[in-house]
Amino acid sequence: MTAAASFPPSDRPGPPGPLSGVRVLDLSAYIAGPYGCTLLADQGADVLKVEPPTGDNLRNYPSTLAEESRAFIGVNRSKRGVVLDLKKPEDLAVLMRLVREADVLVHNFRPGVPRRLGIAHEQLELLNPRLIYCAVTGYGDTGPLKDKAGYDQVLQTMTGMCALQGQRGGPPEILYGSVVDYYAAALVASGVASALYERERSGQGQYVGVSLLRSALTMQSARLVWAGGEPLDIGRDMRSGGVTGIHPARDGYIYISANTAHFWAALCRITGLHDLAADDRFDTVKKRAANAGELLARLHAALATRTALEWEALFGDEVPCAAARQVEDMFQHPQVLAEGIVGDFEHASVGSYRGVTRSIVFGRTPGPVSFAAPTLGQHDGTLER
């Protein structure tokens, strides 16, 4: 078996990005690894998604799209896609040729799997000493849980995130939206970029490890502080209480933040609650939280006179706030449109759709045009068999 040019020159139109010329092999599945590679693609990297014959499991997630998973499309933009069965010697040989030309390889296999497949870091660095090898795991490379499969909501529950959601004293609640996965994806992109920068000085690649456990705890760094001499079981809830939170309006809900004296005074003035601004029972964040019962009764009565959108317009820049919207509202939100965050794509099977275009803005090297996620094996023709 011979391979054509493993990474043919990218034909993406548009200016170069800061990572243009960087070649990435994405062997990962689900969200954390794949979206980390998408963030690299946003910055101009040439990403080749390598899937098994059954495809990335995210392709099988429930979706109202007839031809493809909405989740897969959203997570895997700006990549070419090929199918390789790494259990077959001939397909593994193709991957090895790709590795020789690659700058980065990302996978999310459990720690013992890469060695069985013949693609562990110490095996691949012999082929390509400059390779940045990024492994995304559930719990890390060592310890009693290292071989367990890791999933976003499992790690949310394990690390205390769910216990701090919802009402105080209520049951734990999941944060929907795969927040741990997406944060881990950001760490993948950041870690890989840092390793590429270091390689420019040393000429050597290295191993980059990202775990969902480490990501979930890093997200809670403000809570995860245990000072010497203090009891372990103390209050770690960062919510200020009182005014700050989501409140009902005449129609809909609005989030209000009034933690500074300036914002508190503006809130009282605009809602007509002038007496509260002069009441020393409410003149600090702690006092407003301690006297929330009386305070919220007055505030909710005032908010009930207008809709959430009306209050949002009235508060303007004077009170940090947002009317609660559906995610669908973001497709036509004027700020989203002004920033060009959402754009048009053409997908091989879905057809035209709108979705997120890129995550970071670069002034001098904005990067090439984003394109739709690949269908399974869409670019197999780039590999001769």
User: What one-letter code names the amino acid at 376?
Assistant: L
d(CA 69, CA 225): 40
- Give counts: helices (H), strands (E), the chain: 14, 11
d(CA 227, CA 309): 43
Q: Angle at CA 328, nearest 5°, toward 327 and 329?
A: 90
d(CA 297, CA 68): 48
Which one from 26, 181, 275, 329 is the annotated catalytic residue?
A: 181
Q: In terms of C-beta density within 10 A (0-12 exposed, 13-18 middle, 19 or more buried), how is residue 58 classed?
A: buried
Residue 374 per-residue DSSP state = P
- Contact between 295 and 242 (Cβ < 8 Å): yes
Q: How far is CA 265 from CA 34, 300, 313, 349, 378, in A?
A: 46, 17, 17, 54, 58
Residues 6+ apart with CB under 8 A from 322: 254, 255, 312
**DSSP symbols for 234-250:** --------TTSEEEE-S
Query: Is residue 181 annotated as a catalytic residue, yes or no?
Result: yes
- Total-model pTM: 0.93
Q: What is the pLDDT along the chain (385 residues), one digit of tens a residue?
A: 344 446 666 788 999 999 999 999 999 999 999 999 999 999 999 999 999 999 999 999 999 998 899 999 999 999 999 999 999 999 999 999 999 999 999 999 999 999 999 999 999 999 999 999 999 999 999 999 999 999 999 999 999 999 988 777 789 999 999 999 999 999 999 999 999 999 999 999 999 999 999 999 999 999 999 999 989 888 777 666 678 899 999 999 999 999 999 999 999 999 999 999 999 999 998 899 889 899 999 999 999 999 999 999 999 999 999 999 999 999 999 999 999 999 999 999 999 999 999 999 999 999 999 999 999 999 998 886 6
d(CA 124, CA 65): 38
